[in-house]
Amino acid sequence: MLQVKNLHVSVEGKPILKGVSLQVKPGKIYALMGPNGSGKSTLANALMGHPRYELKRGTVKINGRLVTIFTPDQRAKKGLFLAFQYPLEIPGVDLLNMLRTAYQSVHGHLPVKGFVEMLKAEMEKLGIPFSFADRSINEGFSGGEKKRAEILQLAMLKPKIAILDETDSGLDIDALKTVALNVRRLVKETGMGALVITHYQRLLHHLEPDVVYVMQEGRITHTGGQELVEILEAGGYKALERTKARV
């Protein structure tokens, strides 16, 4: 389980997160919503240990163990995963070799044949042609292809906690459904917990989150279920002032 308590984070001396507390339990999907600039992506990057995001106060634990003392790659090996809002292109590094190296660093050795069979199966489920495995990471990929490649990494690495930062951004209707249903499948199959950052109700209709968090001005202001999504869709963030689903 991921436990975040009273997290305060600054960027270049400016306070962004101002006491964030939340949890992500195994086998559950959590949605994190909030207006632009509320601190959602800051939270994602801070959890993964991006050096630009300075932890001032608070704790981040997985299964009771403090992870804020670890570097980003060490956090990944402890079971944290971040799917980026804007995935980077990495020319010269093909997807297959990157995934195999990452897989073995987390799960140990797996013969090439077994790994390729696993990769083919996951790529088929995501509608990704196997020819993409030999291409440089995200180079020449469309927006939707980049996001599917992120979910492919999630499927292969099978982390304890997955943080998905606006994975629905840039997806068409079909790709959105494919990504959402595969996230649900992976949560069910592996028991991972997922924290999904999004602005849009359409993704959450497919994901069916167990818990919805709302972040405003660097704090979690509301916690509830699907009813919070409906309120936001109908009346925006001002409409939340009339609901009792507060932290």
149-185 pLDDT, tens digit per residue, is 999 999 999 999 999 998 888 788 888 888 899 999 9
Q: What is the pTM of this model?
A: 0.92
CATH code for position 208: 3.40.50.300
- Alpha-carbon distance of 194 to 174, in angstroms, equals 21
Residue 172, domain member (yes or no) = yes
Residue 82 lies in a domain: yes
- Domain holding 111, by residue range, is 2-242
Q: What is the pLDDT of residues 86-115, one digit of tens each?
A: 888 999 999 999 999 999 998 999 899 999
Q: Evaluate whether residue 247 is within a structural domain.
A: no
What phi-psi label fits residue 161: left (phi over 0), alpha (psi between -120 and 50 degrees) or beta? beta
In the structure encoding, which two tokens stand for residue 28, read together? 């559950």
Residue 9 falls inside a structural domain: yes
Q: How far is 87 from 157, CA to CA, in rounded Å? A: 17
Tally of structural domains, the chain: 1
How far, in Å, CA of 215 to CA of 197, rounded?
10
pLDDT band at 243, cuts 50/70/90? low
Closest CA to 34 of 225, 240, 216: 216
How far apart (Å, rounded) are the C-alpha atoms in residues 163 and 54? 19
